[in-house]
Amino acid sequence: MFTQNEILETIDMLDNRHLDVRTVTLSLSLIDCIDSDAKKCNQKVYDKITRVAKRLVPVCDELAARYGIKIVNKRIAVTPVSVVGAASGDFIGLAKTLDRAGKALGVDFIGGYGALVQKSATDREQAFLKTIPEALSSTDIVCGSVNVASSRAGMNLDAIKTLGEGIKELAYLTRDDNSFGCGKLVVFCNAVDDNPFMAGAFTGFAEGECAVNVGVSGPGVVEYEINKHPDYDITSICELIKRTAFKITRLGQLIGTEAAKALNLAPGIVDLSLAPTPAVGDSVARILESIGLSKVGSCGTTAALALLNDAVKKGGVMASARVGGLSGAFIPVSEDAGMIEAARHGDINIEKLEAMTAVCSVGLDMIAVPGDTSAAVISAMIADECAIGMINNKTTAVRVIPVYGKTVGDEVDFGGLFGTAPIMRVSLGDPSAFIARGGIIPPPIHSFKN
C-alpha cells in the first residue's frame, strides 16, 4: 500500500498543478509511399496514415479515462514531405492529404511538412521550400519544420534567406488570422528525429516504421514544489527539481508504454520537456521566478534556466528507458503566462531570450514581432539562433511571427494553447547585405571529431 502522502501528492499534481501528458505523437515513416505518380503517392499516404493511426485517438481517450490523466494532444509526425514528394513534385497536394488524413482521425496536429537542408538543398528541396507559405496557409492542422544548420554540416544561409522570405509571405497569407500560419513553422539547427512536440515534429530517416512518442509536461508541479521550500539553498533546489522531474517523466513512460501496447506498435521515446501553457500555474517563467527572480528576464534568468534545464534532464533520464526528443525546458513567449506578462511590461526582450536559448531547449519560440520586420531581419534572427546551436552542439529553433499590420505596443491573441503575444521590439540594424551573400557557413572546428 502507498502512504497517504504519496497518494495525496499524486492527486494534487494531477488535479491542481496541471500535470498532464502534453502529447502522444505517433511517428510514422512514409518512405514506402513515394511514387512518381502524384495521385498514387497521395493515395498511399492517406491510406497508410489512416490505417496505422486509426486507433490513436480512441486509445488515448481510453488511457486518459483509465488513469485519470489528461492527454492534451494527439499528433502524428511523418517523414519530411520534401522527400516523400520528391519523385512526384506534388508537395502542396501532400500537405492537403496530410490535413485530410489528420482530420479524418481526429488528431490535433500532423507534422512533417519539412526538409533537412543543413548542408545544401537538392533542386526538389529548393522547390519545396518555396511551397511552405501556400501549404501552411491552405491547411489547418499541418505543421512544418526545416533544418537549416547542424554542428556537423554547418549553416545553409541560402535556405535561411528563402525561409525569411517565406515566413513574411506566410504572415501575409494568414493576415486575417493574426499571421498565425507562422506559428506552424519552425526553423531548426540540429533538429531531432523523434521530437513529439509541434510544430517541429517529424519522423527522421534513422527512425523505424512507426513508434509511439510521448511528451509530458508539468511546470506547475515544479513551481509548487520550489515554492514550498524558500529555505533551500540552490543545490537543494536542483535536487528537488530532479526528484520532481523523475515523477513527471514516469507518468509519460507509463502512458507511452501502455499506448504502444494498446496500438500494437513500438514504444518510442519520452520527451521530458517542461512545456508551458498560458494557463495560470503552468508556466516555466514562474518556475524561474520561484527560484528567486522578481521577474523573468532579470539578471540571473539565464543561470536559473540553466540549472532548471539540467536538473530536469538528470531526473528524467533515470525515469525512462528511452529519453529523446528535445527534453529540457521550453520558453515560448505567447504560450506562457509568466512570459506574456514579462513581455507586456518590457521585462524581457528578444536579446535576453536569445541568451536563454543557449542553455535550454529550444529557441526563439512563439515570438510576435512587428509586421514590417524585413525578411532579411528574420533570416538573420534564424542565423543567430543557428549559430548558438551549431557552435554549442545543441538544438535551437526559431518560430517567429511577424504579425501583419501590427507593431510594438500591440498584442495578438492566437487562442487556446497558443496564447497571447505582445509584439516585441526587434533590433533596428539592417543585416540584409549579410543575408544576401548566401552560401554555406562551414561547420565549426570541433565538428571534426574523428
Burial 61-85 (b: 16+ CB within 10 A, else e): eebbeeeebebbbbbbbbbbbbbbb
The C-alpha atoms of residue 49 and residue 44 are separated, in whole angstroms, by: 9
Amino acid type, 180: F
Closest CB 15 distance from another protein, rounded Å = 8
Three cell numbers, residue 281: 500555474
Pick between residue 254 and residue 329 the one whose CB is nearest to another protein.
254
Residue 69 or 135: the one with the smaller Cβ distance to another protein is 69
Nearer Cβ to another protein (10/302): 10
* Residue 219 zone, left/alpha/beta (φ > 0; ψ -120 to 50; rest): alpha
Unique residue bearing C-alpha cell 528578444: 350
Confirm if 170 and 132 have CB atoms less than 8 A apart: yes
Query: Which one-letter DSSP state was computed for residue 256?
Result: H
Nearer to another protein, 2 or 448 (CB): 2
- 3-class state of residue 128 by DSSP: helix
Nearer to another protein, 67 or 232 (CB): 67
Rounded to a whole number of angstroms, the minimum distance from the CB of residue 83 to another protein is 37
Distance CA 383, CA 432 (A): 12
Nearer to another protein, 11 or 234 (CB): 11
**Minimum distance of another protein from residue 223's CB (angstroms):** 18
31: which DSSP letter?
A: G
Biggest distance spanned by C-alpha atoms of the chain: 68
Q: Which is nearer to another protein, 9 or 177 (CB)?
A: 9
**Cβ proximity to another protein, 141 vs 222, nearer residue:** 222
* Shortest distance in whole angstroms from residue 314 CB to another protein: 14
Q: Shortest gap between Cβ of 7 and another protein (angstroms)?
A: 5
Would you say 143 and 183 are in contact if contact means Cβ atoms under 8 Å apart? no
Q: Which CB sits closer to another protein, 255 or 366?
A: 255
Output the smallest distance, CB 227 to another protein, in A: 18
Q: How far is the CB of 14 from another protein (least distance, A)?
A: 8
Q: What is the nearest approach in angstroms of another protein to the Cβ of residue 30?
A: 33
Name the one residue in this structure whose C-alpha cell is 528541396. Answer: 125
Least distance in angstroms from the C-beta of 226 to another protein: 18
Closest to another protein by CB, 185 or 251: 251
Residues sharing a CB contact under 8 Å with residue 418, sequence separation 6 or more, in sequence order: 180, 183, 278, 334, 335, 366
Q: What burial letters (b/e) apply to 357-391, b meaning 16+ CB within 10 Å? A: bbbbbbbbbbbbbbbebbbbbbbbbbbbbbbbbbb
Binding site for another protein (CB under 8 A): 1-2, 4, 6-11, 13, 15, 65-69, 247, 250-251, 253-254
Chain centroid to CA 130: 22
Rounded CA gap, 363 and 295, in Å?
A: 20
Q: Which is nearer to another protein, 174 or 217 (CB)?
A: 217
**Cα(195)–Cα(112) distance, integer angstroms:** 11
Tell the smallest beta-carbon distance from residue 311 to another protein (Å): 17
Residue 315 CB, shortest distance to another protein, in Å, is 12
**CA nearest 282: which of 16, 10, 12?**
16
